[in-house]
Amino acid sequence: MNYFYLARCRSAVIVLPFFLTACASFSTDGGFSEIEKIARERLNKDVQWQRPAEASTAGSVTAQRVQQLLAAPLDADGAVQIALLNNRGLQATFYALGIAEADVVQSGRLANPGFSFGRLQRGDEIELERGLHINLMRLLTMPYAQQMEQRRFAQTRHEVAMQMLSIASESRKAYYMAVAADQTVLYMQQVKKAADAGAELARRMEQAGNFNKLQRAREQGFYADAVVTLARAEMAQTRAREKLARLLGLSGNQTGVILPSRLPDLPKAPDARANIEQLAMTQRLDVQAARLGTEQLAKNLGLSKATRFLNVLELGVVRNSSNEAPTQRGYEISLELPLFDWGGAKVAKAEALYMQALHRTAETAINAQSEVRSAYSSYRSSFDIAVHYRDEILPLKKKISDENLLRYNGMFIGVFDLLADARAQIVSVNSAIEATRDFWLAQADLEMSLIGKPTLSAPSSGAAVTGEAPSAGH
């Protein structure tokens, strides 16, 4: 009876790992389908993971798609799409899914069994010992380990998705920064031309005796300031375009991206967002990932308490044979006795980790609520400021300019009075460009704050870019 019982036990121990191993296999998509779903639902964009098995086909399709988008003037949505397809850092992040899935599959596979062989000799007697051992503790805890790795895999998917959304947001913001930089350079080139003309006119008038040295120096000083301001604007343009190229994964001839000459027009009205805090709590991936991590640690804590005494438990099948005695068959179990380490430190560490994660999750939720409130406040304020420049300040400046032009045509003021008025508009025009840019940056931050952790942009200070030269007069 005992022999048949042991035989059944040995058969179960040997057969069970094969069933467990058969269940532990890689998925067809590596968890990437959820990333694709988030890209479609949250961004309305496609995303591509260029894995080795499909690198040649997917790479060529991606390259063609990128070239098509770069062939025409690029818009913000096109920039985001190129980043999702072509950003190398994002492609590297996708492989975190493969690493996490490999851990899931590994957790479902039993460790290789151990085989022992011994040859003992006593006089003429030769005894051979053969043993087959498996880690029974790992076998018993395998379902828990699989659950832990599956939760970690889910958390990795959240983190990868959040990284994808972050790159999309940063690419959109880099696009607006680059377009605004181009627009500023174009305007400052016009300012420099006007300053150049004023300086040349002042030089001729000084030669004719109609200008003194002070008046000539003022005009020359404005021209010198315009040259420096244009150089700084061009330097900022280069930085903005290079940042855009990095985020879009462009190199070589691809870096010459065709951008529109000006920023998009402001919307007719700002979006009215109700219950943005509640919406952020249900949609933000960093909050979901923090909750998932806390749940995982809670499960780990339960497992630590259950296995605090069974640190090492091995089951072995033994077969000893001798040339002078019948063959011995049986099994042996080795168990680590908790004489010195009762597992209390391990449980205490698990509890501390859980409480730490609990407070981290609460902090993440509180920060998320604050970030979405701040993002929405900046969005509304940026819209109001940009509209004020568009509807109040710039029309008023134009009205003043038109009136001065009429006075100039009537010979009530001179050409340098007209130039001085044009210089006074430089700060307003540049501030209007910055205000429009800040609005689009704030909108990108608001959209990101509702689905992930944003990198809030600081509004521009509206500082003057050139000094104003006073009216020179005649």
pLDDT digits (tens, 9 = 90+) for 176-224: 999 999 999 999 998 888 888 777 777 787 777 777 777 778 777 888 8
Residues 101 and 70 in one domain: yes
CB atoms within 10 A of CB 247: 24
Alpha-carbon gap, residue 415 to 471, rounded angstroms: 9
Count of domains observed in the chain: 2
Residue 322 lies in a domain: yes
Residues 245 and 105 in one domain: yes
Per-residue confidence band for 174, with pLDDT thresholds at 50, 70 and 90: very high
Q: What is the CATH number of the domain that holds 125?
A: 1.20.1600.10
Q: Which domain range does residue 14 map to? A: 1-258+313-342
Alpha-carbon gap, residue 241 to 234, rounded angstroms: 10
Residue 465 lies in a domain: no
Comparing CA positions, the residue from 144, 162, 152, 157 lying closest to residue 294 is 152
Residues 435 and 408 in one domain: yes
DSSP string covering 137-151: HHHHHHHHHHHHHHH
* Structure tokens belonging to residue 277: 């805090």
- What is the average per-residue pLDDT within 61-76? 90
Residues 441 and 392 in one domain: yes
Residues 186 and 63 in one domain: yes
pLDDT digits (tens, 9 = 90+) for 30-66: 788 889 998 998 899 999 888 776 555 555 778 888 9
pLDDT digits (tens, 9 = 90+) for 225-246: 889 989 999 999 999 999 999 9
**Cα–Cα separations (whole angstroms), residue 85 to 160, 248, 293:** 15, 8, 29
Residues 127 and 253 in one domain: yes
Residues 270 and 229 in one domain: no
Q: β-strand 125-134 against 114-122: which pairing, if any?
A: antiparallel
Alpha-carbon gap, residue 267 to 180, rounded angstroms: 17
Q: Is pLDDT of 309 > 70?
A: no
Q: Is pLDDT of 345 > 50?
A: yes
The model scores a pTM over 0.75: yes
Mean confidence (pLDDT) of the chain: 78
Lowest mean pLDDT among 114-123, 333-342, 345-354: 333-342
| Long-range pairs of 123-130 with CB within 8 A, sequence gap ≥ 24 | 124/323, 124/324, 125/322, 125/323, 125/324, 125/325, 126/322, 126/323, 127/320, 127/321, 127/322, 127/325, 128/320, 128/321, 128/322, 129/318, 129/319, 129/320, 130/318, 130/319, 130/320, 130/321
Q: What is the pLDDT of residue 354?
A: 78
> Which residue, 290, 323, 342, sits at the end of a domain?
342
Residue 390 lies in a domain: yes
Residues 206 and 64 in one domain: yes
Residue 469 lies in a domain: no
Is the model more confident about 467 or about 212? 212
3-class DSSP assignment, residue 398? helix
Residues 330 and 303 in one domain: no
Residues 332 and 365 in one domain: no
Residues 75 and 222 in one domain: yes
Residue 472 lies in a domain: no
pLDDT digits (tens, 9 = 90+) for 259-273: 999 999 999 999 887
Residue 268: φ, ψ to 5°: -65, -35
Residues 322 and 442 in one domain: no
Residue 470 lies in a domain: no
